[in-house]
Amino acid sequence: MAIDESEHQDLLAGLIRLHILHHAVEDELYGHWMIEELARHGYRVSPGTLYPMLHVLERKGYLESRTEGAGRRARRLYRATEKGRDALEVARLKVRELFGELIEGR
Ligand SMILES: [Zn+2]
């Protein structure tokens, strides 16, 4: 099922941020990769939505970034900070709790 991110943006933005954080804990990621990863999970997210999210996550201290390459081939790689890792752990518990009610009816 393809979810039109633009239609429910506010509601889904938190889930997308957690998805970004999850992958940024596992490995470095860059924007285009993340857009394709989200697409694989049925989210259509434009660069105009994703890149600002990455910037905000970095500004709030959840991600840090470095630039690889130069000129037109330069790309920015993001990874989770300690704060990002901690936040994902907190979120994991909250998601499990919510999953119990939303999906399993507990
Ligand atoms: Zn994923």
- Ligand 1 centroid to Cα of residue 94, in Å, is 18
Which pTM was predicted?
Answer: 0.88
pLDDT of residue 6: 67
Q: Which fold has domain 3-102?
A: Arc Repressor Mutant, subunit A (1.10.10)
DSSP 79-95: EE-HHHHHHHHHHHHHH
Q: First and final CA of the chain: distance in angstroms?
A: 25
* 71 CA distance to ligand 1 middle (Å): 29
Give the residue extent of every domain in the chain.
3-102
Tell which residue, 102, 99, 31, 15, has the closest CA to residue 65.
Answer: 31
d(CA 98, CA 20): 19
Tell me the per-residue pLDDT of 20-62, one tens digit each, with 9 for 90 and over: 999 999 999 999 999 999 999 989 899 999 999 999 999 999 9
Ligand 1 center–CA 19 separation, angstroms: 6
Q: How far, in Å, is the centroid of ligand 1 from the Cα of 39?
A: 9
The predicted-structure confidence for 69-84, as pLDDT tens digits, reads as follows 999 889 999 999 999 9
Q: 23 alpha carbon to ligand 1 midpoint, in Å?
A: 6
